[in-house]
Structure 1
Amino acid sequence: MELTENYAVRGDRALGAGDEDKLGFREVAKRIATSLVDRASEDGLVVGLEGAWGSGKSSLLFLVGDELSKLPLATRPTVIHFRPWLIGNRDALITSLFTELSNQLDQVALAAGDATRISITKAKKAGKALRSFMSALSKAGEMVEVAGDVAGIGAVKYAGKGLKAAGGMAGTNAPPQLADLKDQLVTSLRELGHRFVVTIDDVDRLEPGEIMEILRLVRSVVDLPNVIYVLCYDSEVLAHSIQAAASVQNGRAFLEKIIQLTVMVPKPEAFQLRQWFAEALRQIGVAKDEDERERLREVIDHEGGRQLRTPRSVVRALDSIRFFWPPLREISADLADLVWLHLIKDGNPALYRWIEEYCGTAAALSLGTARVDEAEKSQQSAAVEAAAGEHVFDNDLYRHSFSAQLAGVTPNFSKSGPVFQLFERVDDRTRDEAIQSRRLASPDHYRLYFAMATPSHALRQSDFNALWDALATGPDQTATVLLSFQRQDVAGTLTKTDLMIERIKGGAYELLNAKQCRNLLMALANSMDEAYRLRPFDGFAFSSLWDRTLPLVGLLLARLKPAQRSIATRDMFAKGAAIGWLTFVFRHEIFAHGRFGDRSRHEGEWVLASELQLDDAIRITLSRYNAMTLKDIQQCPRPLSLLFAWQQAGDEEGPRRLLGAHSKSDEGLLQTLEGLTSQINSSDRGIFTVLSRQNIEPFLDYEDATRRVKALTKKAKLKEAATKIMTLIAEGKRY
């Protein structure tokens, strides 16, 4: 996507030329600029521009300089922007500042004339005096120190050793000569009558030792008439650094000895910051509908009111959104969710990290690949309160708005217990709506909001495109795509086919036309046995791929007209190659319609929506069963289920005849019994295989079968196989 100005990340920088003053600092800057010129003493002044980090000190300082540059030429001062963090030690600081002052004096001399009311002679004299003082100071080198008074700041003094090594300065005459040169400089600058304003930004970001050098510099070495220093800093931070560097108990008192006047950066109103944020946000993205627009307004009011405390916080939050929104906009993600999350990220990183971890666990729960016990819930509840900070969730309205953003979070408004119930069950409709809207609460899309990437388990648009193209072509192509998905793991035991079925029945089926519905139904009827062989599941799985397909079949059939529905049902059961899966569907319907078992289920649970459809399925399926050999049945997934379905559909004798005929031979009996095994899930042994009486008796005479097998254990040729069967029968008696 082409980068536009609206999406350009601005960075945490001060205002510059052409930037808009969002907070009305311009009027403040005008007054400060006027005072620096009209009201400041010609003896020099050190002004402190105080404000917390991010409050806009640097922006205000820029505006002050801009206003000074607009003053009439006759009264316009020379502004020197001194940036000490680019310089090294004390000597380099002194040299750098004097050099800049010297260069500016030369510029003043060049510009001198009637318009400026500055004498060229005086300007050149001041420049010469400054360079003489600089030269002497440079020759003195390390002899120059700063004497300390009670506050730790004093005048220049001179070391008593090493004078001969200091560039030829002679003995005891050196100090008076340097002092005389400074007096000459002071006199010439006073006579010149031109004001210099030296701005020093971010003093509080220097190391404590460097801070002390700057303070000594402005109050002793370069304490000159008509030179005004404007220092920007956070007084709390600066006072702490002074205490560490100067070993004093009161850093503020120390600072008051140096800073003669302080100007506090105006604190913006909270609504001003939110308004600035909202106006800039409109240039980045817009809500898709009224619901998202209303949620975005609430996010800005509730979360913005908490997190947007300084101009810097506004800039940083906007930059985060500029960085993350373009790729999310392309997939129609939710702007309100993104804004909520990134307001928290910049205002409370610990809470942001908790939300990230919670969303990942909630997604795993949604997929059935994770469990969260009560101890973990309690731990996470304590963690979110600790991350948010004390009393943050005391406000019921904020507690409600916070919980509304996350899946499975319910606010607790009672006076006891945790503030939230976490990892609560999310109903399918709510989950599917979150997925369709690509919300933060979507298990498929939550990671987009944290990393601009879908979760490893999530389907991609290319996956949907592949399936939709296949659905438009035919059932064979659709089956091929489903089986290719079945070979791809997404999370735990889940495959991409599991996830695709979930997403289709979650709402995507509504996009399918009649032809695509029929193609998908036939693709399932042709491929689900092979899908089972690729990734078998045990009989105790309560949410297998086959289970997932049941409601989808009902949804797809319901989209067809009655005549189309009947044809599709007959085609599935008559032509579908996946006889094992068809048996699974068929058996479910026999019980659901009450054709077998104690009671029927509610019609809402039926896959085949009418008794006529079920009648067609029974007739066709029984015909297919009767045409199968025992080998055909045993090659199907879950052959025992097929045999029971055959009987439960009304043909009790059909499977008995088939198995009885096959069991006449000894080898046939052993093969038949092996096909009648089932599995037991025991807490102490896990899953193991048994051959129980209830599996044998519906199809063979149990006593006769066990007697014959016992006799076969004594025949050398069949002893091993017969012994194995007898062991399985013994296990069946125990369980």
Structure 2
Amino acid sequence: MSQENLFSDDPVEHVEEDQLDRVSYVEHVAAVMSRVRQQGTASTVVAIIGSWGSGKSSILSLVQAKLPDSWLMARFDPWGYTDVTAMMFGFFGELSSVLPDDSKGKEVREKVGKVVQLASPLGKLTGLAGFDSSSMIDKLGQLIAGGSSISAALKSAEESLKKLDSPVLMVIDDLDCLEPEELLMVFRLIRSLGRMPNLYYLLSYDERTLLDVLMRTELAFNDQRRAQEYLEKMVQVRLDLPPLREKQASVLFEQMLDKVIEQTTTRIEDGDRLRILKVYETTLRHRLQTPRAIRRFLAQVDAFWSTVNGEIDFCDFLILTWLRTFEPSTYRAVQEHRAALTGGDVYERLFQRDHKGTKQYWIELLDSAGIPAKDREKVLELLADLFIPIRSAMRNSDYNPAFYDEIAARQGVGHEDYFDRYFAFTVTSDDIPDAMVQIALSADPVDADETATIALSRLRQRMLDDSFRAGRKVTAAVEDNPALARPAVRLICWAARELQLSEAGVADPWPISALASATLARVPNRQLGPLLEELTEDINGLDFLGSLAARLTGMRKRAGRDDAAELEWSAALDPILRPRLESRVRDEVEPSGRIGDQVANLIWSWRFIDVSSCQSFCRELVDRTDLVTVLSQLMPRNHGQDGETLWVSPLRRASLVALFGLDYLGDLESYGDAPDIPDWDDARLPDSPENRTNRARASLKAAHQESPDDEA
């Protein structure tokens, strides 16, 4: 099967192209036509009856090829004419075109032409393009004056047709595509004018559709029984086309599927193929029961797959294409429920456990989409294959959030990072192709080519714009290729610093920290030490890794447990980080005791990692200046809800003790004139030198009032 065949609906014209093992059926039809001919010259109507897309047109072509050369083949396409008169001329024109050029053929043409002249309304005749109106009127006058009648002309034409040495086969395909008036005209042509000796008919149609058309004619008046009786009167021999057997349909589907995979150079694993075939057997095949339906479906897959190949899951795309092609209302409903289906809606993901209600909701939604009751379970199972929430509802079972990670690993539609790609048929502008992430991380930052430079630039921008989403892509790339862990960590450190600068020096965003921890855990052991040495040589890398190590230390204390992967890389970091933090802080703090914002971050990290050394240094700073001056420079600052306003927050007693030691805080009662902190949950002031000092004094006053139950 060629690519051209997949996208076209052209019939098979040669037996060698037949994929459905219908040679025996074609031979049977040809044998029937021969027997009809052998029984006499009386005109006979034979009909091949099958559903739309079942291959009737291909059967007609193969039968024509199978019949001996003694048959004269005419093909009449009635839907190509604008009115019934033109259709009649076309009918007899096709008949005339296949007649031999000998004397017998010329005689038949002449006799048939006279029938056409007599049967055509004068007004219509004179309006036909290419006809000389005055000449036609003269000829018609001569016929009338000579006493000619339509009956006499038909009898004369019949006598001439009997003399032909060869039978004529008039093939009329797709009768079910005609309008009611056109269909009646074709039948009247066959019944009244076309039932001539040596003229046989081979029709094809979908019976149910044809009856629907007949019922809309004045002949049947919406009476199905009357329409059926009329059809039986017209057709002498009906040859029902056997439907595709399940095995035939399955083989044809696999053949066409393989062609799509081959033509699009799609990488597909054995497990993916098994999943596709399972979905086909359970659901897809119920709407893929004709060659045309299978071809149409896979043509839709092929038409768009090349734009997203490598960026989404092929099986998921196949399923969604089936929905888009055969159940468009359900396809639209899926789009409208993006958050609920992908776990992007936190409420849906964490709190909704009403599986029975969820299932009923989707059943009602499918009902409103016009899905028959007998098909709803199948469609729901199809959706359950794609989306965790529906799977949970169908199985009445909760699924661990880790299942979303599995969906992301195969680039599935059920994950929020990939959902939009399936419906946009591309990687959207607010996203980054997975392949580009691989290129960016593999690039040499010093000597990268143009493609790699563009990829790295885009990945960096995505890291700043959407750390969550881009970070997950980086993690996935490292999982696929652990060799990318080193450049990934470098990228994360860079992004952390850029985000800090954009937020006026606040602590690193937690998504970046989580990403760094997960990525460092994937760095091979032999590369871990040299990488950490390299990163901590720079103050930005030291700042980020120090904050990361401090955060993990605090989390381990609160959670009371350790993550084995985190322990491995943090253990390698600790002996590198301790001396470098102290050395860098001492080098960066000015002799006057002034502390820069980034150095303040280093001090807070140092406080978690080496409390004793950090306390000694902070005391040294107090000795140079005073406690309030030092503390005001270390006050934590955070962004407000608008993402722009920077606020300074107070410190609790435990943090003050960790920085300076209880014995070094002095007489805290001396700060009794400082303002109170009315509400610790909202104890923020806009950042300024004055407010930092006020918050430092207020924190010292509050520390005097707090109970010393936890001073570690």
Q: Normalising to structure 2: TM-score of the pair? A: 0.75
Contact 1:9 1:323 in 2 (8 A): no
Contact 1:338 1:449 in 2 (8 A): yes
Provide the C-alpha distance between the structure 2 equivalents of 1:489 and 1:295, rounded to a whole number of angstroms: 34
Displacement after TM superposition at 1:230 (Å): 2.6
- The counterpart of 2:652, out of the listed 694, 701, 705, is 694
Displacement after TM superposition at 1:371 (Å): 7.0
- The counterpart of 1:634, out of the listed 597, 604, 620, is 597
Q: What is the aligned-residue RMSD (CA, Å)?
A: 4.9
- The counterpart of 2:373, out of the listed 373, 390, 393, is 390
| Percentage of matched positions with identical amino acids | 17
- Alpha-carbon displacement from aligned partner over 1:35-94 (angstroms, at most 9, x marks no partner): 2343265332333322211122211222222222xx2x5xx3322100111111111111
For residue 624 of structure 1, give the secondary structure of its aligned residue in structure 2: helix
Residue matched to 2:63: 64
- The counterpart of 1:487, out of the listed 461, 485, 497, is 461
Is residue 2:161 matched to residue 1:196? Answer: no
Is residue 2:43 matched to residue 1:88? Answer: no
- The counterpart of 1:253, out of the listed 229, 233, 252, is 229
- Alpha-carbon displacement from aligned partner over 1:595-640 (angstroms, at most 9, x marks no partner): xx56743242635557575254334323433444365442468688
- The structure-2 alpha-carbon separation of the partners of 1:188 and 1:440, relative to structure 1 and needing over 3 Å to count, comes to same
Provide the C-alpha distance between the structure 1 equivalents of 2:481 and 2:286, rounded to a whole number of angstroms: 42
Unaligned runs of 5+ in 1: 111-119, 145-163, 413-417, 711-719
**Amino acid in structure 2 at the alignment position of 1:42:** T
Contact 1:393 1:419 in 2 (8 A): no
- The counterpart of 2:561, out of the listed 590, 601, 625, is 601
- The structure-2 alpha-carbon separation of the partners of 1:277 and 1:359, relative to structure 1 and needing over 3 Å to count, comes to farther
Contact 2:578 2:606 in 1 (8 A): no
Contact 1:639 1:675 in 2 (8 A): no
Displacement after TM superposition at 1:471 (Å): 6.8
| Residues 26-425 of structure 1 aligned to structure 2 (within 5 Å) | 26-39=23-36, 42-68=41-67, 71=68, 73=69, 76-105=70-99, 107=100, 109-110=101-102, 120=103, 122-138=104-120, 140-141=122-123, 169=141, 177-192=149-164, 194-246=166-218, 248-250=221-223, 251-285=227-261, 288-324=268-304, 331=310, 336-353=315-332, 365=344, 374=352, 379=361, 382-383=364-365, 389-392=372-375, 394=377, 403-404=384-385, 406-409=386-389, 411=391, 418-419=393-394, 425=400
**Amino acid in structure 2 at the alignment position of 1:259:** V
Q: How many residues align?
A: 653
Displacement after TM superposition at 1:479 (Å): 13
For residue 470 of structure 1, give the secondary structure of its aligned residue in structure 2: coil
Provide the C-alpha distance between the structure 1 equivalents of 2:464 and 2:428, rounded to a whole number of angstroms: 9
**Amino acid in structure 1 at the alignment position of 2:110:** K
For residue 521 of structure 2, give the secondary structure of its aligned residue in structure 1: helix
Displacement after TM superposition at 1:183 (Å): 2.3
Q: More deviation in 124-133 or 270-279?
A: 124-133
- The counterpart of 1:676, out of the listed 635, 638, 656, is 635
Contact 1:204 1:237 in 2 (8 A): yes
- The structure-2 alpha-carbon separation of the partners of 1:625 and 1:385, relative to structure 1 and needing over 3 Å to count, comes to farther
Contact 1:46 1:259 in 2 (8 A): yes
Residue matched to 1:115: none
Residue matched to 1:544: 511
**Amino acid in structure 2 at the alignment position of 1:314:** I
Provide the C-alpha distance between the structure 2 equivalents of 1:356 and 1:689, rounded to a whole number of angstroms: 40
Contact 2:169 2:201 in 1 (8 A): yes
Contact 2:55 2:291 in 1 (8 A): yes
Provide the C-alpha distance between the structure 1 equivalents of 2:395 and 2:692, rounded to a whole number of angstroms: 56
**Amino acid in structure 1 at the alignment position of 2:57:** S
- The structure-2 alpha-carbon separation of the partners of 1:345 and 1:135, relative to structure 1 and needing over 3 Å to count, comes to same
Provide the C-alpha distance between the structure 1 equivalents of 2:44 and 2:632, rounded to a whole number of angstroms: 104
- Alpha-carbon displacement from aligned partner over 1:251-303 (angstroms, at most 9, x marks no partner): 32343343343222221211111122223434443775443343344344334
Q: More deviation in 481-490 or 723-732?
A: 723-732
Structure with greater proportional helix content:
2
Contact 1:409 1:421 in 2 (8 A): no
Displacement after TM superposition at 1:460 (Å): 4.1
- Alpha-carbon displacement from aligned partner over 1:304-327 (angstroms, at most 9, x marks no partner): 533321121222234334445566
Q: Normalising to structure 1: TM-score of the pair? A: 0.73
Contact 2:632 2:693 in 1 (8 A): yes
Residue matched to 1:584: 547
Contact 1:126 1:185 in 2 (8 A): yes
Provide the C-alpha distance between the structure 2 equivalents of 1:569 and 1:369, rounded to a whole number of angstroms: 39
- The counterpart of 2:440, out of the listed 438, 450, 466, is 466
Contact 2:54 2:290 in 1 (8 A): yes
| Residues 715-726 of structure 1 aligned to structure 2 (within 5 Å) | 722=690
Provide the C-alpha distance between the structure 1 equivalents of 2:547 and 2:342, rounded to a whole number of angstroms: 29
